[in-house]
Amino acid sequence: MSAVQMLPDFQATWHRKLHPDCFVCSKGNLSGLGLEFTVDANGGVVSRFRGDASFSGYRDRIHGGVIASLLDGAMAYCAYVHGLVAVTADLQVRYHEPVRVAELVHVRAWLVDVRGPVYRLGGEIRAGQDVRVSARAKFMTTPELPTARGSASRSGRCRPAAQPVDLLGRE
């Protein structure tokens, strides 16, 4: 099953059960950002964000912690779309240019590969064609989270997680 085909099941099942109060992507978190992600043709995810002054750090700039949260949330969402349930183990963010208050940006994330319990993802924030911020991260399964069946990554090296459980309820 492709990532695009998984998305409706994901929204109806995983997101509500495992991630109902996410600061980045939950509509139910009234203090959150409420991003809505769509899946692109390569199985990555993308959303739009326009932060107001309440998200600023320095004058007219979105706070770096908010930027890191956007990228972390996008990468977690991308992992879920691929049937991978994990938490952030390592997040590296590179700030190339400031993201300005009230500036419309696109937040993107994609799956790089899966090696056992470690999932590597990439992400970026763009304003037009300009990359303002880029990130890479490692996500890992943990004993308290359910695992899901592995899926094909762009590198083709994805393998099933230990003790797979199909959280989408497929037979």
CATH number of 131's domain: 3.10.129.10
Note the pLDDT of residue 83.
80
**Residue 34 reports pLDDT greater than 80:** yes
* 132 domain residue, yes or no: yes
**Residue 87 reports pLDDT greater than 60:** yes
* 145 domain residue, yes or no: no
CA distance 91 to 122: 10
Q: What does the pLDDT look like over 42-55, one tens digit per residue? A: 999 999 999 999 99
* 135 domain residue, yes or no: yes
pLDDT (mean) for 78-104? 93
Note the pLDDT of residue 156.
35
* 104 domain residue, yes or no: yes
Note the pLDDT of residue 29.
82
Domain holding 19, by residue range, is: 3-140
Note the pLDDT of residue 163.
35
Mean pLDDT score of the chain: 80
* 48 domain residue, yes or no: yes
Domain count, the chain: 1
Q: Among the listed ranges 48-62, 86-100, 154-168, which one has the minimum average pLDDT value?
A: 154-168
Which residue type sits at 132?
R
Which residues, other chains included, contact 80 with Cβ-Cβ below 8 Å and sequence gap of 6+? Answer: 10, 14, 15, 18, 19
| Beta-bridge partner residues of 87 | 140
Residues constituting the chain: 171
pTM value?
A: 0.79
Note the pLDDT of residue 8.
52
Note the pLDDT of residue 94.
98
